[in-house]
Each structure stands twice: as C-alpha cells, then as structure tokens.
Amino acid sequence: MTPFPIQITFQGMDASPALQADIEQHAAKLEHFSPRLTACKISVQQSEHRHHKGNRYLVHIRVTLPGGEIEAGRTTGQDHSHEDPYVAVRDAFLALRRRLEDFIRIQRGDVKAHSPVPSPPLSIRKE
C-alpha cells in the first residue's frame, strides 16, 4: 500500500486484477525516488481493437508532488513490444522514474548551471 492515492483507469479494455496489481507494485516503488508524492494517476488504453494479435497498449502516468506534476507515457508507433500490457506499463514507469529523478535533481540544485561560454575576441586585420 502506498502512502499516496493511486487512480488506475482502463480504457477500451476490461480491468485486469493482475495488471492492476502490477501497476500498484510499480507505483509503490516510486516512493523510493520521491517520498513526497501526493497522487498518481495511471491510464491504460488499448489502442487498437483487433481480436487476437496486434493490440497495442498506451500507458500514461501523471504524478503530483510539491512543486509540480510529472507525466510520462509511450506512444505505440511500430513498437510491437507494447502488444503486452505489462511491457507497456514497465516502459512507462521507467520513463516516469527518469523524469522524476531529473525533477528532484533540479529542485535540490544538483544540476549545474553552465555559465555562458565567452566568445573569442574578434581580431580585425588592417591591410
């Protein structure tokens, strides 16, 4: 159980208790990266409606924490690995985790601000 609320919606498909448990497990791991999360919304959508093969899944995740919201999600494109909803969920959470880590680094000031590179002095030749 996570200390922040998780909202999972399934669109164009039946809710799967096993997939829901997998999503909750991924969401619980987010607390390790940011214990200040206040909410997590996950949307799993079947992008195509074929009967047996070729159904790709879109997973979109939005987390809220003090200072902002972070979103991640993958589009299907030609990636056939997202015909498995568990792979689509895993990839979306990995992308979210990277964005969350970057956000936290920036908030802590761990990201160095690069000073502008001085341009070399112009040399004017007189002939």
Residue 17 inside a domain? The answer is yes
Whether the CB-CB separation of 92 and 72 falls below 8 Å is answered with yes
Residue 16 inside a domain? The answer is yes
Residue 26's domain comprises: 6-108
CATH number at residue 20: 3.30.160.100
Residue 14: per-residue pLDDT:
87
The total domain count for the chain is 1
C-alpha triplet 26, 109, 5: angle, nearest 5°: 30
When the pLDDT of each residue in the chain is averaged and rounded to a whole number, the result is: 81
Residue 47 inside a domain? The answer is yes
Residue 96 inside a domain? The answer is yes
Residue 102 inside a domain? The answer is yes
Residue 39: per-residue pLDDT:
92
Rounded to an integer, the average pLDDT of 38-61 is 81
pLDDT at residue 50 greater than cutoff 80: no
pLDDT tens across 104-119, in order?
A: 888 877 766 566 666 5
pLDDT class for 75, splitting at 50, 70, 90? low
Residue 23 inside a domain? The answer is yes
pLDDT tens across 90-99, in order?
A: 999 999 999 9
Cβ neighbors of 71 (< 8 A, separation 6 or more) are 60, 61, 62, 96, 99
